[in-house]
Amino acid sequence: AQSVTQLGSHVSVSEGALVLLRCNYSSSVPPYLFWYVQYPNQGLQLLLKYTTGATLVKGINGFEAEFKKSETSFHLTKPSAHMSDAAEYFCAVTRTGANNLFFGTGTRLTVIP
């Protein structure tokens, strides 16, 4: 079975501060991991993904995430928050051969000017 836990349903940061959104996964097989962003009244946009290879993954809009197998984590970071980063962020997991994603409950990021 696979699942994802996102710690913190709401995170607030000041503009220019570090963004850290936490994601821990559970998977009995090597996982594929994803971060998606959802702006109000919109669908999901892929930020980045990890399948195999390099554990530090760079995505769009300056975001990156590091796959840590020993900690079963895939936290999302961005060095400097921008007002346009305010949105809902979802971590998702799947595995090779699977056809569907399992999503966390999401973290709403607020950026304070």
Partner 1 sequence: DAGVTQSPTHLIKTRGQQVTLRCSPKSGHDTVSWYQQALGQGPQFIFQYYEEEERQRGNFPDRFSGHQFPNYSSELNVNALLLGDSALYLCASSLVRLAGMDTQYFGPGTRLTVL
**Longest distance between any two alpha carbons in the chain, whole Å:** 44
Token couple for 95: 């595995």
Q: Which residues of 37-58 are buried (b: 16+ CB within 10 A; e: fewer)?
A: beeeeeebeebbbbeeeeeebe
Q: Residue 84, interface with partner 1 (CB under 8 A)?
A: no
- In the bound state with partner 1, the residue whose beta carbon lies nearer, of 17 and 108, is 108
Q: Residue 86, interface with partner 1 (CB under 8 A)?
A: no
- Residues 35-64 as x/- pattern, contact with partner 1 by CB under 8 A: -x----xxxxxx--x-x-------------
What are 74's strand-pairing partners? Answer: 67
Q: Using CB under 8 A, which of 32, 35, 67, 74 touches partner 1?
A: 32
Residues lying near partner 1 in the complex (CB under 8 A):
4, 32, 34, 36, 41-46, 49, 51, 90, 92, 94, 96-106
